[in-house]
Amino acid sequence: MSSVPERSEIDAEYKWDLDGIYADDEAWEAARETVEARIDELRDYEGRVTEDAATLLELLELREEIFRELQQVTTYARLRSAEDTRNQEYQAMSARASSLGSEASSAISYLEPELQTLTESDVEAFVDDELALAEYEHYLDDVLRKKPHTRSSEVEEVLADLSEVTDAPSEIYSMLTNADMTYGVVEDPDGEDVEITQANFTKLQTNPDREFRERVHETFYDEWEGVRNTVGTSLEKAVREHVTSAEIRDYDSARAAALDGSNVPVEVYDTLVDSVDDNLDVLHRHAELKEAALGVDQLQSHDLYMSLTGDQGPDVEYEQAREWVIEAVAPLGDAYQERLAEGLDSRWVDVYENRGKRSGAFSSGTYDTQPYIMMNYQDDIASMYTLAHELGHSMHSELAGDAQPWHDASYEIFVAEIASTVNETLLTHHLLDTAEDDELRTHVLDEYLERFRSTLFRQTMFAAFEQRIHERVETGDALTPDAFDEMYADLKGDYYAPAELTGGIEREWQRIPHFYYDFYVYQYATGISAAAAIVERVLDEGESAAADYREMLKAGGSDYPLDVVELAGIDMASPDPIESAVGVYDEYLDEIATLLDLE
Protein backbone atom coordinates (compact mmCIF):
# COMPACT_ATOMS: atom_id res chain seq x y z
CA MET A 1 0.00 0.00 0.00
CA SER A 2 1.23 3.48 -0.89
CA SER A 3 1.31 5.40 2.39
CA VAL A 4 2.46 8.72 3.76
CA PRO A 5 5.75 8.65 5.74
CA GLU A 6 6.24 9.90 9.27
CA ARG A 7 8.21 13.12 9.56
CA SER A 8 11.14 11.32 11.17
CA GLU A 9 11.59 9.29 7.97
CA ILE A 10 12.34 12.39 5.84
CA ASP A 11 15.94 13.56 5.41
CA ALA A 12 16.85 16.81 7.14
CA GLU A 13 17.87 18.50 3.87
CA TYR A 14 14.23 18.37 2.78
CA LYS A 15 12.90 19.92 6.00
CA TRP A 16 13.01 23.58 6.95
CA ASP A 17 15.44 24.67 9.65
CA LEU A 18 13.59 26.56 12.37
CA ASP A 19 16.77 27.14 14.38
CA GLY A 20 16.89 30.54 12.71
CA ILE A 21 13.91 31.53 14.84
CA TYR A 22 14.66 29.75 18.14
CA ALA A 23 17.31 27.15 18.96
CA ASP A 24 14.74 24.94 20.69
CA ASP A 25 11.36 24.93 22.39
CA GLU A 26 12.89 26.16 25.64
CA ALA A 27 14.17 29.29 23.88
CA TRP A 28 10.68 29.79 22.45
CA GLU A 29 9.17 29.55 25.91
CA ALA A 30 11.65 32.11 27.28
CA ALA A 31 10.77 34.51 24.44
CA ARG A 32 7.06 33.99 25.01
CA GLU A 33 7.45 34.81 28.69
CA THR A 34 9.42 37.96 27.83
CA VAL A 35 6.68 39.19 25.50
CA GLU A 36 4.00 38.37 28.05
CA ALA A 37 5.87 40.32 30.73
CA ARG A 38 6.17 43.39 28.50
CA ILE A 39 2.54 43.69 27.44
CA ASP A 40 1.72 45.96 30.37
CA GLU A 41 4.21 48.48 28.95
CA LEU A 42 1.76 49.00 26.10
CA ARG A 43 -1.11 49.65 28.49
CA ASP A 44 0.88 52.43 30.16
CA TYR A 45 0.31 54.70 27.15
CA GLU A 46 -3.46 54.48 27.11
CA GLY A 47 -4.92 57.98 27.13
CA ARG A 48 -1.55 59.50 26.21
CA VAL A 49 -1.25 58.72 22.49
CA THR A 50 -1.87 62.30 21.33
CA GLU A 51 -0.12 63.94 24.29
CA ASP A 52 2.72 65.12 22.06
CA ALA A 53 4.84 63.94 19.13
CA ALA A 54 7.58 62.47 21.32
CA THR A 55 5.11 60.31 23.25
CA LEU A 56 3.53 59.01 20.05
CA LEU A 57 6.94 58.10 18.66
CA GLU A 58 7.89 56.32 21.90
CA LEU A 59 4.74 54.23 21.73
CA LEU A 60 5.17 53.32 18.06
CA GLU A 61 8.75 52.23 18.70
CA LEU A 62 7.71 50.23 21.77
CA ARG A 63 4.95 48.57 19.75
CA GLU A 64 7.51 47.52 17.17
CA GLU A 65 9.86 46.01 19.77
CA ILE A 66 7.12 43.92 21.35
CA PHE A 67 5.27 42.92 18.21
CA ARG A 68 8.43 41.95 16.32
CA GLU A 69 9.24 39.45 19.06
CA LEU A 70 5.60 38.38 19.18
CA GLN A 71 5.77 37.60 15.46
CA GLN A 72 8.75 35.35 16.14
CA VAL A 73 6.88 33.56 18.92
CA THR A 74 3.74 33.09 16.85
CA THR A 75 5.51 32.02 13.67
CA TYR A 76 7.68 29.40 15.36
CA ALA A 77 4.66 27.84 17.08
CA ARG A 78 2.56 27.81 13.91
CA LEU A 79 5.31 26.29 11.82
CA ARG A 80 5.88 23.58 14.39
CA SER A 81 2.17 22.83 14.52
CA ALA A 82 2.02 22.66 10.71
CA GLU A 83 4.74 19.98 10.66
CA ASP A 84 2.40 17.51 12.35
CA THR A 85 -1.09 18.62 13.27
CA ARG A 86 -1.44 15.51 15.45
CA ASN A 87 1.26 16.74 17.85
CA GLN A 88 -0.66 18.03 20.85
CA GLU A 89 2.36 19.80 22.34
CA TYR A 90 2.79 21.96 19.26
CA GLN A 91 -0.94 22.55 18.92
CA ALA A 92 -0.87 23.82 22.50
CA MET A 93 2.11 26.07 21.72
CA SER A 94 0.26 27.51 18.75
CA ALA A 95 -2.82 28.13 20.89
CA ARG A 96 -0.73 29.84 23.57
CA ALA A 97 0.93 32.04 20.96
CA SER A 98 -2.47 32.95 19.55
CA SER A 99 -3.69 33.86 23.04
CA LEU A 100 -0.63 36.01 23.56
CA GLY A 101 -1.30 37.79 20.28
CA SER A 102 -4.87 38.49 21.33
CA GLU A 103 -3.68 39.84 24.67
CA ALA A 104 -1.14 42.15 23.02
CA SER A 105 -3.69 43.40 20.49
CA SER A 106 -6.13 44.07 23.29
CA ALA A 107 -3.48 45.94 25.30
CA ILE A 108 -2.90 48.41 22.47
CA SER A 109 -6.43 48.49 21.05
CA TYR A 110 -6.74 52.11 22.19
CA LEU A 111 -4.04 53.26 19.72
CA GLU A 112 -6.09 53.79 16.59
CA PRO A 113 -9.19 55.28 18.28
CA GLU A 114 -6.96 57.81 20.04
CA LEU A 115 -5.03 58.61 16.87
CA GLN A 116 -8.32 59.25 15.10
CA THR A 117 -9.02 62.16 17.41
CA LEU A 118 -6.32 63.98 15.42
CA THR A 119 -6.91 65.87 12.20
CA GLU A 120 -4.62 65.76 9.21
CA SER A 121 -3.26 69.14 10.29
CA ASP A 122 -2.55 67.76 13.75
CA VAL A 123 -0.59 64.87 12.25
CA GLU A 124 1.41 67.25 10.06
CA ALA A 125 2.27 69.31 13.14
CA PHE A 126 3.40 66.17 15.00
CA VAL A 127 5.68 65.25 12.11
CA ASP A 128 7.16 68.73 12.10
CA ASP A 129 7.87 68.39 15.82
CA GLU A 130 9.32 64.86 15.57
CA LEU A 131 10.80 64.19 12.13
CA ALA A 132 11.15 60.46 12.81
CA LEU A 133 7.35 60.24 12.60
CA ALA A 134 7.66 60.90 8.85
CA GLU A 135 8.53 57.20 8.51
CA TYR A 136 4.99 56.42 9.66
CA GLU A 137 3.27 58.61 7.05
CA HIS A 138 1.42 55.76 5.32
CA TYR A 139 0.44 54.12 8.61
CA LEU A 140 -0.98 57.36 9.98
CA ASP A 141 -2.84 58.09 6.75
CA ASP A 142 -4.37 54.61 6.82
CA VAL A 143 -5.49 55.01 10.44
CA LEU A 144 -7.22 58.32 9.71
CA ARG A 145 -8.83 56.84 6.59
CA LYS A 146 -10.53 54.15 8.70
CA LYS A 147 -11.92 56.59 11.25
CA PRO A 148 -15.60 56.14 10.20
CA HIS A 149 -15.31 52.40 10.90
CA THR A 150 -13.32 52.41 14.13
CA ARG A 151 -15.22 52.07 17.35
CA SER A 152 -14.40 53.42 20.81
CA SER A 153 -11.35 52.23 22.73
CA GLU A 154 -13.58 50.09 24.94
CA VAL A 155 -15.28 48.37 22.00
CA GLU A 156 -11.99 47.89 20.16
CA GLU A 157 -10.54 46.22 23.26
CA VAL A 158 -13.50 43.84 23.46
CA LEU A 159 -13.17 42.99 19.76
CA ALA A 160 -9.47 42.29 20.20
CA ASP A 161 -10.19 40.07 23.21
CA LEU A 162 -12.73 38.13 21.16
CA SER A 163 -10.33 37.34 18.31
CA GLU A 164 -9.58 33.86 19.65
CA VAL A 165 -13.29 33.10 19.71
CA THR A 166 -14.00 34.55 16.28
CA ASP A 167 -11.13 32.52 14.80
CA ALA A 168 -12.62 29.31 16.20
CA PRO A 169 -14.53 28.15 13.07
CA SER A 170 -11.39 28.25 10.96
CA GLU A 171 -9.26 26.55 13.59
CA ILE A 172 -11.83 23.81 14.18
CA TYR A 173 -12.12 23.24 10.43
CA SER A 174 -8.32 23.01 10.12
CA MET A 175 -8.01 20.45 12.90
CA LEU A 176 -10.90 18.39 11.52
CA THR A 177 -9.56 18.26 7.97
CA ASN A 178 -5.82 17.99 8.68
CA ALA A 179 -5.63 15.98 11.89
CA ASP A 180 -8.84 13.97 12.30
CA MET A 181 -10.24 13.18 8.87
CA THR A 182 -9.11 10.43 6.55
CA TYR A 183 -10.17 10.37 2.91
CA GLY A 184 -10.35 6.70 2.07
CA VAL A 185 -8.27 4.03 0.37
CA VAL A 186 -8.76 2.90 -3.23
CA GLU A 187 -7.22 0.25 -5.40
CA ASP A 188 -5.14 1.67 -8.25
CA PRO A 189 -5.00 0.22 -11.80
CA ASP A 190 -2.07 -2.02 -10.75
CA GLY A 191 -4.03 -3.54 -7.89
CA GLU A 192 -2.20 -1.59 -5.18
CA ASP A 193 -4.06 0.17 -2.38
CA VAL A 194 -3.58 3.95 -2.40
CA GLU A 195 -4.46 6.20 0.51
CA ILE A 196 -6.24 9.39 -0.60
CA THR A 197 -5.08 12.59 1.11
CA GLN A 198 -5.84 16.26 0.58
CA ALA A 199 -2.32 16.61 -0.78
CA ASN A 200 -2.52 13.86 -3.41
CA PHE A 201 -6.21 14.06 -4.39
CA THR A 202 -5.63 16.39 -7.34
CA LYS A 203 -2.75 14.30 -8.66
CA LEU A 204 -4.86 11.14 -8.42
CA GLN A 205 -7.50 12.94 -10.48
CA THR A 206 -4.99 13.15 -13.34
CA ASN A 207 -4.54 9.38 -13.61
CA PRO A 208 -5.27 8.18 -17.18
CA ASP A 209 -7.54 5.38 -15.91
CA ARG A 210 -11.01 6.94 -15.91
CA GLU A 211 -12.61 4.30 -13.70
CA PHE A 212 -9.86 4.83 -11.13
CA ARG A 213 -10.42 8.59 -11.21
CA GLU A 214 -14.13 8.04 -10.64
CA ARG A 215 -13.45 5.74 -7.66
CA VAL A 216 -11.07 8.30 -6.14
CA HIS A 217 -13.55 11.14 -6.69
CA GLU A 218 -16.54 9.32 -5.21
CA THR A 219 -14.55 7.91 -2.27
CA PHE A 220 -13.10 11.32 -1.44
CA TYR A 221 -16.41 13.17 -1.54
CA ASP A 222 -18.18 10.37 0.33
CA GLU A 223 -15.84 11.15 3.24
CA TRP A 224 -16.88 14.81 3.07
CA GLU A 225 -20.53 13.76 3.06
CA GLY A 226 -19.96 12.25 6.49
CA VAL A 227 -18.94 15.59 7.99
CA ARG A 228 -21.18 17.91 5.99
CA ASN A 229 -23.12 19.13 9.03
CA THR A 230 -19.95 19.89 10.99
CA VAL A 231 -18.27 21.68 8.09
CA GLY A 232 -21.50 23.43 7.13
CA THR A 233 -21.93 24.73 10.66
CA SER A 234 -18.33 25.90 10.92
CA LEU A 235 -18.54 27.81 7.63
CA GLU A 236 -21.92 29.29 8.53
CA LYS A 237 -20.48 30.59 11.80
CA ALA A 238 -17.47 32.02 10.00
CA VAL A 239 -19.73 33.87 7.56
CA ARG A 240 -21.87 35.20 10.40
CA GLU A 241 -18.75 36.44 12.17
CA HIS A 242 -17.68 38.32 9.02
CA VAL A 243 -21.14 39.86 8.65
CA THR A 244 -21.45 40.79 12.32
CA SER A 245 -17.99 42.35 12.43
CA ALA A 246 -18.86 44.45 9.37
CA GLU A 247 -22.09 45.60 11.01
CA ILE A 248 -20.27 46.54 14.21
CA ARG A 249 -17.92 48.70 12.15
CA ASP A 250 -20.76 50.26 10.15
CA TYR A 251 -19.93 48.82 6.74
CA ASP A 252 -22.58 48.20 4.12
CA SER A 253 -21.49 44.57 3.74
CA ALA A 254 -18.91 42.03 4.85
CA ARG A 255 -17.31 42.32 1.43
CA ALA A 256 -16.95 46.10 1.74
CA ALA A 257 -15.37 45.65 5.17
CA ALA A 258 -12.91 43.03 3.97
CA LEU A 259 -11.76 45.02 0.94
CA ASP A 260 -11.55 48.27 2.85
CA GLY A 261 -8.88 46.75 5.06
CA SER A 262 -6.45 47.16 2.17
CA ASN A 263 -8.30 50.07 0.54
CA VAL A 264 -9.34 48.12 -2.56
CA PRO A 265 -12.63 49.44 -4.01
CA VAL A 266 -15.43 46.86 -4.29
CA GLU A 267 -15.62 47.85 -7.95
CA VAL A 268 -12.36 45.93 -8.50
CA TYR A 269 -14.08 42.78 -7.23
CA ASP A 270 -17.14 43.40 -9.38
CA THR A 271 -15.02 44.10 -12.45
CA LEU A 272 -13.24 40.78 -11.98
CA VAL A 273 -16.42 38.71 -11.55
CA ASP A 274 -18.23 40.47 -14.40
CA SER A 275 -15.25 40.24 -16.79
CA VAL A 276 -14.73 36.55 -16.13
CA ASP A 277 -18.46 35.85 -16.40
CA ASP A 278 -18.43 37.57 -19.80
CA ASN A 279 -15.66 35.23 -20.95
CA LEU A 280 -16.91 31.87 -19.73
CA ASP A 281 -17.06 30.72 -23.35
CA VAL A 282 -13.25 30.49 -23.28
CA LEU A 283 -13.38 28.24 -20.20
CA HIS A 284 -16.09 26.18 -21.90
CA ARG A 285 -13.77 25.77 -24.87
CA HIS A 286 -11.10 24.35 -22.57
CA ALA A 287 -13.63 21.84 -21.23
CA GLU A 288 -14.66 20.89 -24.77
CA LEU A 289 -11.02 20.33 -25.72
CA LYS A 290 -10.67 17.98 -22.74
CA GLU A 291 -13.76 16.14 -23.88
CA ALA A 292 -12.22 15.69 -27.32
CA ALA A 293 -8.82 14.73 -25.91
CA LEU A 294 -10.33 12.06 -23.67
CA GLY A 295 -12.63 10.78 -26.39
CA VAL A 296 -15.70 10.76 -24.14
CA ASP A 297 -19.28 11.64 -24.96
CA GLN A 298 -19.51 14.04 -22.02
CA LEU A 299 -16.99 15.34 -19.54
CA GLN A 300 -17.71 14.47 -15.91
CA SER A 301 -16.49 15.93 -12.64
CA HIS A 302 -13.68 13.37 -12.26
CA ASP A 303 -12.36 14.44 -15.69
CA LEU A 304 -11.89 18.13 -14.93
CA TYR A 305 -8.28 17.87 -13.75
CA MET A 306 -7.22 15.67 -16.64
CA SER A 307 -4.46 16.80 -18.91
CA LEU A 308 -5.29 17.54 -22.52
CA THR A 309 -2.46 15.13 -23.35
CA GLY A 310 -4.42 12.27 -21.76
CA ASP A 311 -1.78 11.28 -19.21
CA GLN A 312 -0.06 12.53 -16.08
CA GLY A 313 3.09 13.74 -17.79
CA PRO A 314 6.72 13.18 -16.88
CA ASP A 315 7.91 13.08 -13.29
CA VAL A 316 9.80 16.16 -12.14
CA GLU A 317 11.95 15.45 -9.12
CA TYR A 318 12.53 18.24 -6.64
CA GLU A 319 16.17 18.82 -7.60
CA GLN A 320 15.21 19.30 -11.25
CA ALA A 321 12.41 21.64 -10.30
CA ARG A 322 14.83 23.76 -8.27
CA GLU A 323 17.16 24.09 -11.27
CA TRP A 324 14.42 25.10 -13.68
CA VAL A 325 12.86 27.64 -11.32
CA ILE A 326 16.24 29.30 -10.72
CA GLU A 327 16.85 29.54 -14.46
CA ALA A 328 13.36 30.87 -15.12
CA VAL A 329 13.68 33.99 -12.96
CA ALA A 330 16.77 35.27 -14.81
CA PRO A 331 14.77 38.09 -16.53
CA LEU A 332 14.21 39.64 -13.07
CA GLY A 333 17.93 40.33 -12.69
CA ASP A 334 21.07 38.66 -11.35
CA ALA A 335 20.56 39.77 -7.74
CA TYR A 336 17.02 38.36 -7.62
CA GLN A 337 18.12 35.08 -9.18
CA GLU A 338 21.13 34.64 -6.92
CA ARG A 339 19.17 35.35 -3.76
CA LEU A 340 16.49 32.85 -4.71
CA ALA A 341 19.14 30.19 -5.34
CA GLU A 342 20.82 30.91 -2.01
CA GLY A 343 17.48 30.53 -0.28
CA LEU A 344 16.94 27.09 -1.75
CA ASP A 345 20.36 26.09 -0.43
CA SER A 346 19.49 27.45 3.03
CA ARG A 347 16.58 25.10 3.76
CA TRP A 348 13.84 27.61 3.11
CA VAL A 349 11.62 24.75 1.95
CA ASP A 350 9.91 21.94 3.86
CA VAL A 351 9.50 19.79 0.80
CA TYR A 352 7.66 16.51 1.20
CA GLU A 353 4.36 15.35 2.66
CA ASN A 354 4.46 13.56 6.01
CA ARG A 355 1.70 12.05 8.09
CA GLY A 356 -0.21 14.78 9.93
CA LYS A 357 1.42 17.61 8.00
CA ARG A 358 -0.84 20.48 7.09
CA SER A 359 -2.17 20.19 3.55
CA GLY A 360 -1.43 22.68 0.79
CA ALA A 361 1.48 25.09 0.66
CA PHE A 362 2.44 28.48 2.06
CA SER A 363 5.34 30.87 2.55
CA SER A 364 5.86 32.21 6.05
CA GLY A 365 8.55 33.87 8.19
CA THR A 366 9.01 37.21 9.90
CA TYR A 367 10.79 40.50 9.34
CA ASP A 368 13.77 39.12 11.28
CA THR A 369 14.01 35.63 9.76
CA GLN A 370 14.51 33.96 6.45
CA PRO A 371 11.37 32.76 4.65
CA TYR A 372 9.93 29.33 5.40
CA ILE A 373 8.03 27.49 2.68
CA MET A 374 5.78 24.56 3.47
CA MET A 375 4.67 22.31 0.63
CA ASN A 376 3.81 18.68 -0.09
CA TYR A 377 5.94 17.97 -3.17
CA GLN A 378 4.58 15.17 -5.37
CA ASP A 379 7.33 14.82 -8.03
CA ASP A 380 5.18 16.32 -10.76
CA ILE A 381 4.93 19.46 -12.88
CA ALA A 382 2.19 20.90 -10.67
CA SER A 383 4.47 20.67 -7.62
CA MET A 384 7.23 22.43 -9.53
CA TYR A 385 4.84 25.30 -10.21
CA THR A 386 3.86 25.39 -6.54
CA LEU A 387 7.55 25.74 -5.64
CA ALA A 388 7.91 28.66 -8.07
CA HIS A 389 4.73 30.22 -6.65
CA GLU A 390 5.82 30.09 -3.00
CA LEU A 391 9.31 31.33 -3.87
CA GLY A 392 7.64 34.38 -5.40
CA HIS A 393 6.10 35.13 -2.00
CA SER A 394 9.39 34.51 -0.22
CA MET A 395 11.38 36.78 -2.49
CA HIS A 396 8.73 39.46 -2.11
CA SER A 397 9.23 39.30 1.67
CA GLU A 398 12.99 39.41 1.31
CA LEU A 399 13.02 42.50 -0.94
CA ALA A 400 10.35 44.35 1.03
CA GLY A 401 12.11 43.57 4.30
CA ASP A 402 15.38 44.96 2.97
CA ALA A 403 13.82 48.15 1.65
CA GLN A 404 11.19 49.04 4.25
CA PRO A 405 11.04 49.57 8.01
CA TRP A 406 9.16 46.91 9.97
CA HIS A 407 5.83 48.73 9.97
CA ASP A 408 5.83 49.12 6.16
CA ALA A 409 7.34 45.78 5.15
CA SER A 410 4.20 43.63 5.36
CA TYR A 411 2.32 43.71 2.06
CA GLU A 412 -1.30 43.06 1.24
CA ILE A 413 -2.45 39.74 -0.27
CA PHE A 414 -3.66 41.67 -3.32
CA VAL A 415 -0.01 42.38 -4.18
CA ALA A 416 1.36 39.12 -2.82
CA GLU A 417 -0.54 36.99 -5.33
CA ILE A 418 1.01 38.94 -8.17
CA ALA A 419 4.54 38.18 -6.97
CA SER A 420 3.85 34.46 -6.74
CA THR A 421 2.21 34.22 -10.16
CA VAL A 422 4.92 36.22 -11.93
CA ASN A 423 7.30 33.38 -11.07
CA GLU A 424 4.86 30.79 -12.42
CA THR A 425 4.49 32.73 -15.66
CA LEU A 426 8.25 33.12 -16.09
CA LEU A 427 8.67 29.38 -15.51
CA THR A 428 6.22 28.67 -18.31
CA HIS A 429 8.00 30.96 -20.76
CA HIS A 430 11.39 29.51 -19.82
CA LEU A 431 10.38 25.89 -20.30
CA LEU A 432 8.48 26.53 -23.52
CA ASP A 433 11.53 28.35 -24.88
CA THR A 434 14.21 25.90 -23.76
CA ALA A 435 12.79 22.39 -23.31
CA GLU A 436 13.79 20.08 -26.15
CA ASP A 437 11.54 17.27 -24.97
CA ASP A 438 8.24 17.69 -26.86
CA GLU A 439 6.38 15.70 -24.21
CA LEU A 440 7.63 18.05 -21.49
CA ARG A 441 6.80 21.16 -23.53
CA THR A 442 3.25 19.93 -24.16
CA HIS A 443 2.73 19.15 -20.49
CA VAL A 444 4.13 22.51 -19.43
CA LEU A 445 1.72 24.25 -21.76
CA ASP A 446 -1.10 22.11 -20.43
CA GLU A 447 -0.08 22.83 -16.80
CA TYR A 448 -0.08 26.56 -17.40
CA LEU A 449 -3.52 26.32 -18.97
CA GLU A 450 -4.66 24.41 -15.88
CA ARG A 451 -3.18 27.15 -13.71
CA PHE A 452 -5.11 29.76 -15.68
CA ARG A 453 -8.29 27.68 -15.36
CA SER A 454 -7.88 27.09 -11.65
CA THR A 455 -6.59 30.56 -10.78
CA LEU A 456 -8.44 33.00 -13.02
CA PHE A 457 -11.70 31.13 -13.50
CA ARG A 458 -12.00 28.77 -10.53
CA GLN A 459 -10.94 31.37 -7.97
CA THR A 460 -13.38 33.87 -9.47
CA MET A 461 -16.07 31.22 -9.16
CA PHE A 462 -15.07 30.88 -5.51
CA ALA A 463 -15.28 34.66 -5.16
CA ALA A 464 -18.79 34.66 -6.58
CA PHE A 465 -19.77 31.84 -4.18
CA GLU A 466 -18.28 33.71 -1.25
CA GLN A 467 -20.25 36.81 -2.15
CA ARG A 468 -23.49 34.81 -2.44
CA ILE A 469 -23.18 33.05 0.92
CA HIS A 470 -22.45 36.32 2.71
CA GLU A 471 -25.35 38.07 0.98
CA ARG A 472 -27.62 35.24 2.08
CA VAL A 473 -26.81 35.94 5.73
CA GLU A 474 -27.00 39.71 5.22
CA THR A 475 -30.55 39.37 3.89
CA GLY A 476 -31.60 37.19 6.82
CA ASP A 477 -31.75 33.83 5.05
CA ALA A 478 -30.45 30.59 6.55
CA LEU A 479 -27.17 28.95 5.54
CA THR A 480 -27.44 25.17 5.70
CA PRO A 481 -25.40 22.39 4.07
CA ASP A 482 -28.21 22.01 1.53
CA ALA A 483 -28.07 25.74 0.75
CA PHE A 484 -24.30 25.60 0.34
CA ASP A 485 -24.66 22.59 -1.99
CA GLU A 486 -27.31 24.30 -4.10
CA MET A 487 -25.46 27.60 -4.52
CA TYR A 488 -22.19 25.87 -5.26
CA ALA A 489 -23.73 23.49 -7.80
CA ASP A 490 -25.39 26.41 -9.61
CA LEU A 491 -22.07 28.21 -10.02
CA LYS A 492 -20.14 25.06 -10.91
CA GLY A 493 -22.75 24.29 -13.55
CA ASP A 494 -22.43 27.75 -15.11
CA TYR A 495 -18.65 27.72 -15.16
CA TYR A 496 -18.29 24.15 -16.43
CA ALA A 497 -21.36 24.00 -18.63
CA PRO A 498 -20.00 21.33 -21.04
CA ALA A 499 -19.46 18.92 -18.11
CA GLU A 500 -21.94 16.78 -16.19
CA LEU A 501 -21.64 17.39 -12.45
CA THR A 502 -21.18 14.00 -10.83
CA GLY A 503 -19.75 12.18 -7.82
CA GLY A 504 -20.65 14.64 -5.08
CA ILE A 505 -18.94 17.64 -6.68
CA GLU A 506 -21.64 19.89 -5.20
CA ARG A 507 -19.85 19.28 -1.88
CA GLU A 508 -16.54 20.67 -3.14
CA TRP A 509 -17.09 23.85 -1.08
CA GLN A 510 -16.36 21.74 2.01
CA ARG A 511 -12.71 21.21 1.05
CA ILE A 512 -11.85 24.90 0.39
CA PRO A 513 -10.23 26.43 3.51
CA HIS A 514 -10.01 29.86 1.89
CA PHE A 515 -13.73 30.48 2.44
CA TYR A 516 -12.83 31.08 6.08
CA TYR A 517 -10.40 33.86 5.13
CA ASP A 518 -12.97 36.61 4.53
CA PHE A 519 -13.01 37.56 0.81
CA TYR A 520 -9.47 36.39 0.14
CA VAL A 521 -9.74 34.25 -2.99
CA TYR A 522 -10.50 36.97 -5.55
CA GLN A 523 -6.93 38.15 -5.17
CA TYR A 524 -5.61 34.98 -6.79
CA ALA A 525 -7.53 35.90 -9.93
CA THR A 526 -6.49 39.56 -9.95
CA GLY A 527 -2.96 38.35 -9.22
CA ILE A 528 -2.64 36.11 -12.27
CA SER A 529 -4.12 38.87 -14.45
CA ALA A 530 -1.56 41.42 -13.27
CA ALA A 531 1.26 38.87 -13.44
CA ALA A 532 0.57 38.06 -17.08
CA ALA A 533 0.77 41.76 -17.94
CA ILE A 534 3.95 42.31 -15.89
CA VAL A 535 5.78 39.37 -17.48
CA GLU A 536 4.79 40.56 -20.93
CA ARG A 537 6.35 43.94 -20.09
CA VAL A 538 9.50 42.36 -18.66
CA LEU A 539 10.06 40.10 -21.67
CA ASP A 540 9.33 42.88 -24.15
CA GLU A 541 11.17 45.77 -22.47
CA GLY A 542 13.89 44.02 -20.49
CA GLU A 543 15.68 45.50 -17.51
CA SER A 544 13.67 48.73 -17.28
CA ALA A 545 10.42 46.79 -16.80
CA ALA A 546 12.16 44.32 -14.47
CA ALA A 547 13.38 47.25 -12.38
CA ASP A 548 9.82 48.61 -12.18
CA TYR A 549 8.64 45.22 -10.97
CA ARG A 550 11.38 45.00 -8.35
CA GLU A 551 10.35 48.44 -7.12
CA MET A 552 6.84 47.08 -6.68
CA LEU A 553 8.20 44.22 -4.57
CA LYS A 554 10.43 46.54 -2.54
CA ALA A 555 7.50 48.84 -1.79
CA GLY A 556 6.02 46.19 0.52
CA GLY A 557 3.14 47.82 2.40
CA SER A 558 4.39 51.38 2.16
CA ASP A 559 1.41 52.40 0.00
CA TYR A 560 -2.06 51.14 -0.92
CA PRO A 561 -2.19 48.03 -3.16
CA LEU A 562 -3.46 49.65 -6.37
CA ASP A 563 -0.72 52.31 -6.07
CA VAL A 564 1.95 49.70 -5.39
CA VAL A 565 0.94 47.64 -8.44
CA GLU A 566 0.98 50.80 -10.54
CA LEU A 567 4.75 50.97 -9.90
CA ALA A 568 5.01 47.96 -12.22
CA GLY A 569 2.97 49.77 -14.88
CA ILE A 570 -0.34 47.96 -14.28
CA ASP A 571 -3.76 49.54 -13.59
CA MET A 572 -5.86 47.00 -11.66
CA ALA A 573 -8.82 49.38 -11.41
CA SER A 574 -9.31 48.72 -15.11
CA PRO A 575 -10.71 45.53 -16.68
CA ASP A 576 -7.83 45.58 -19.19
CA PRO A 577 -5.47 43.22 -17.30
CA ILE A 578 -8.28 40.67 -16.88
CA GLU A 579 -9.32 40.86 -20.51
CA SER A 580 -5.66 40.57 -21.53
CA ALA A 581 -5.17 37.51 -19.32
CA VAL A 582 -8.20 35.82 -20.86
CA GLY A 583 -6.68 36.57 -24.25
CA VAL A 584 -3.41 34.87 -23.25
CA TYR A 585 -5.38 31.85 -22.04
CA ASP A 586 -7.25 31.67 -25.34
CA GLU A 587 -4.01 31.92 -27.35
CA TYR A 588 -2.48 29.03 -25.40
CA LEU A 589 -5.64 27.00 -26.05
CA ASP A 590 -5.12 27.68 -29.78
CA GLU A 591 -1.52 26.47 -29.53
CA ILE A 592 -2.22 23.25 -27.68
CA ALA A 593 -5.26 22.46 -29.83
CA THR A 594 -3.00 22.66 -32.89
CA LEU A 595 -0.21 20.62 -31.28
CA LEU A 596 -2.59 17.84 -30.26
CA ASP A 597 -4.89 18.13 -33.30
CA LEU A 598 -7.96 18.55 -31.13
CA GLU A 599 -9.95 20.89 -33.40
Which residues does the annotation mark as catalytic? 390
* Type of residue found at 315: D
Q: How far is CA 373 from CA 16, 328, 348, 433, 456, in A?
A: 8, 19, 6, 28, 23
DSSP string, 422-473: HHHHHHHHHHHHH---HHHHHHHHHHHHHHHIIIIIHHHHHHHHHHHHHHHH
Helix (H) or strand (E) holding 376: strand 372-377
Largest CA distance in the chain: 77
d(CA 472, CA 243): 10
> Is there a contact between 464 and 491 (Cβ–Cβ < 8 Å)?
yes
Backbone Cα Rg of the chain: 24
d(CA 187, CA 528): 37
3-state helix, strand, coil in the chain (%, to 5): 70, 5, 25
Angle at 570 between CA 567 and CA 575, to 5 degrees: 150
- Cα 579 to its chain centre, rounded Å, is 23
Non-local (6+) Cβ contacts of 79 within 8 A are 16, 18, 21, 364, 372, 374
Alpha-carbon dihedral sign for residues 543, 544, 548, 549: negative
d(CA 292, CA 348): 42
d(CA 99, CA 371): 24
DSSP string, 32-47: HHHHHHHHHHHHTTTT
- Cα 348 to its chain centre, rounded Å, is 18
